[in-house]
Amino acid sequence: MFVIQVLHPDGWREQGRCSSEYWAHQEAQTRCCSDGRHYRILHPDNSAVIATLDTTCCPHRLLQG
């Protein structure tokens, strides 16, 4: 399962897991746009970071320019 982590002042903490990369990305982006924190997604086989998300990916931010 793809691991979703959130950045806290003391480091990265697991926030959840999803069976597909697509749903992991959707979940992380939704949480990021909701709480403004930085998120990342780890590959299930080797724990490599495959995506990082911050508020620049939020749809409302893109519309504001």
User: Residue 57's pLDDT is what?
Assistant: 78
pLDDT at 65: 45
- How far is residue 21's CA from residue 10's CA, in Å, rounded to a whole number? 26
Q: What is the pLDDT of residue 60?
A: 64
pLDDT digits (tens, 9 = 90+) for 20-64: 999 999 999 999 988 989 999 999 999 999 999 988 878 765 444
How far apart are alpha carbons 45 and 62 in whole angstroms?
Answer: 33
Q: Quick one: pLDDT at residue 46? A: 96
Range of the domain at 48: 2-64
The Cα-based distances of 63 to 23, 44, 49, 57, 59 in angstroms read: 23, 33, 28, 11, 6
Give this prediction's pTM. Answer: 0.85
Number of domains observed in the structure of the chain: 1
